[in-house]
Structure 1
Amino acid sequence: MPGLRAVLFDLDGVLTPTAALHMRAWERLFAPWCSQQGVAPYTDADYFAHVDGRPRYDGVAAFVASRGVELPWGSPDDAPGDGSVCALGNRKDEIVNRMFAEEGIEPYPGSVRFLDAVTAAGARVAVVSSSRNTPTVLAAAGLADRFEVVVDGNVAARERLAGKPAPDTYVRAAELVGVPAGQAVVVEDAVSGVAAGRAGGFGLVVGVDRGVGAQALREHGADVVVTDLDELDASVLDHAAGEGRA
C-alpha cells in the first residue's frame, strides 16, 4: 500500500488556469477603486500578498486594509458596489462570472495527467477551494465528475469552516474521503494554501509555482515545489508522511 492514500487539490492555479483569470478580475475591480479612493494603484503583488487563496470577502478586506481604507463588512446579500466589503466582493463575483462565460476555461493538461495517475493508483481525490464558483468552474473544465468530494466556499460558509491559511477546509476534505490528514497530499499554488497544508499536519504538501515563487511556497510550508504537475506521477504516494520536509 502507498504511504499516502488521498490527494487534495486546490482548484484555481492547480487544476485550472482560473488563477490568471481571477487575477485580471481583481485588477478590473480594484484599479478603478484605487483611483476613486486616491490610494496607491493595485498591482499583481497585491494579488499574491492579500487575495491569493483567501475567501473572496477576506481578500477584499485584506486589500482594502492595506490601503488604509475602512469599510463596513456588510452582508453577502449586498448588491454589487463599493459601499461594503461584501458589496465589493459581489462586484468581483459579477466580473469573474462574466469572464467565465465569455472566455471559457480549460484544465491544465499536466494536472489532468497527474489526476489520472493518482486515481489509477487508487488514491481518493477531492477539491478544496475558497471559491464559491467551484462547481461552475469544474463543470466548465469537464472535471465535475472526477471528484467525489468538493469542499468549496459554499461548504465552508455552511459548515462555518475557517478559510485558508487555516487548515480547516483541507481537514474537512480528508474526513470526507475517509483518510487521516497524515496520509493525504495537499496540492496548492498559493502561500495561504501551502500554509494550510503544513498547519493541518498533512503527509505531503506540494506547491505549484504559477508565479508566487518557489522560495515563498517553501517558506510557507511546501515540501516539494514544481512548476507543473506534469513533473509528478503516482510515485508521490510512496512518500512517508513529512518525508520532503527539512
Structure 2
Amino acid sequence: MHNIKAVIFDLDGVLVDTAKYHYLAWKRLAQELNIQFSLQDNERLKGVSRMRSLDIILEIGNITLDSDTKIQLAQKKNIWYVDYISNLTPKDILPGVIGFLESLKVDSIKIALGSASKNSMLILDKLNLTNYFDAIIDGTKVSKAKPDPEVFLKGAEALKVLPSECIVFEDAEAGVEAAINAGMYCIGIGSKNILKMAHLVLAGFSDMTFDKLKL
C-alpha cells in the first residue's frame, strides 16, 4: 500500500464497542412503540444517521409519524444512549487500538475520525483518545449520512491529503460503501460476510501495526 499519509477511523464498533448501547436504546424505543426490533434489524442501523435509523425502525413497524414527533423520539433515544455511555472508561477501548494508534504516530501518519455520531467528543474524552486525532469529523459537521462519502472527504480535506492517500477503518456496510465512494482504501473491522465491499477485512486491531499494512 503505497503513499498512504492518513488513516480515518469510524468510532462505534471500531475504536470502542458502543454499538451495544445504541442497540439497547433503540430497542427500548421500539418497545415503547410496540415494534419488534432484533439484533438482525440492528445491522441495518450501523453507520447511518440517527434520523435515518429511526425511519428504519418505523418502517419495520409500518408506522408513519410527523417530523416533530420523530425529532422528539430521536432525542429520547439519544438521552438514553448518552446515559448508557456516561460510564465509559479507557478500559472500553477495543483490544489493540492504542498500540495501533501509537504505531501511526511513530510513522507520522495523520489520524482523523469519520463518524456519524454526534456524541463523538464525549466518547473520545471518556476514553482519553482525543489527543490522538488531528481532525475530528462527526455528525455535528456533516449533513449527509453514510454511504454518502461526505464525512470521509471532509476528513481528508481537514488533514490536507488526497482521498487516494487515506485508509478508512469501518465496521458497517454503509461506512465501507462511503469510504469506497470517497475513493479511499477501506479495511473492514468485523465479518467478511457482512463487509463484502471492503478491500480487506480484519477481526480487530490485536497485534496490528502500520508496518503490517505496508503491502
Is TM-score (shorter-chain normalized) higher than 0.5?
Answer: yes
Report the equivalent of 2:156: 174
1:46 counterpart = 2:41: yes
Distance 1:224 1:43 in 2: 28
Cα drift, residue 14 of structure 1 = 0.5
Q: Give the corresponding residue for 2:71.
A: 86
Cα offsets for 1:28-55 (capped at 9, x unmatched): 221232x2xxx4x110111112x11111
TM-score (norm 2): 0.93
List alignment gaps of at least 5 residues for structure 1.
75-83, 240-246
Q: Would you say the 8 A contact 2:170–2:187 is kept in 1?
A: yes
The offset of 1:232, in angstroms, is 2.9
What is residue 128 of structure 2 aligned with on the other side?
142
Kept in 2: contact 1:5–1:237 (CA 8 A): no
Question: What's 1:205 paired with?
Answer: 186
Tell me the alpha carbon deviations over residues 106-131 of structure 1, each in whole angstroms, 9 at most, x when there is no partner: 21131121111122111100011111
Q: CA RMSD in A?
A: 1.6
Q: Which residue of 1 aligns with 2:144?
A: 162
Structure 1 residue ranges (4+ consecutive) displaced by more than 3 angstroms after TM superposition: none
Distance in 1 (CA, whole Å) between partners of 2:37 and 2:136 is 32
For residues 231 and 48 of structure 1, do their structure 2 counterparts lie closer, same or farther at Cα, with a shift above 3 Å needed?
A: farther
Instruction: In structure 2, list runs of 5 or more residues that go unmatched.
Output: none
Equivalent residue number for residue 242 of structure 1: none
The superposition leaves residues 134-185 of structure 1 with CA deviations (integer Å, 9 ceiling, x where unpaired) of: 00000001111111211111111xxxx3111111110110110011001100
State the Cα distance separating 1:66 from its structure 2 match: 2.8
Residue 236 of structure 1, CA deviation: 5.3
1:1-246 superposed matches below 5 A: 2-33=2-33, 35=34, 39=35, 41-49=36-44, 51-74=45-68, 84-101=69-86, 103-105=87-89, 106-156=92-142, 161-202=143-184, 204-209=185-190, 213-218=191-196, 221-235=197-211, 237-239=213-215
The amino acid across from 1:53 in the alignment is G
Q: Deviations over 1:68-111 (max 9, x none)?
A: 2111223xxxxxxxxx221111011100111122x324211311
Q: Is the 8 A contact 1:3 1:238 kept in 2?
A: no
Q: Is the 8 A contact 1:6 1:183 kept in 2?
A: yes
1:238 shift after superposition: 2.5
SS at 1:96 equivalent: helix
Aligned pair count?
213
Q: Normalization by structure 1: what TM-score?
A: 0.82
What is the distance in 1 between the residues matched to 2:116 and 2:150? 11
| AA partner of residue 225 (structure 1) | V
**Alpha-carbon distance between aligned partners in 1 of 2:156 and 2:99, rounded to the nearest angstrom:** 22
The CA distance in 2 between the partners of 1:194 and 1:43, in whole Å, is: 23
Give the superposition deviation at 1:62.
1.9
Find the residue that maps to 2:128 and give its secondary structure. coil
Q: Is the Cα contact below 8 Å between 1:5 and 1:184 reproduced in 2?
A: yes
Percent identity between the aligned chains? Answer: 26
Bigger relative contact order, structure 1 or 2, given CA contacts below 8 A and separation 6+?
2
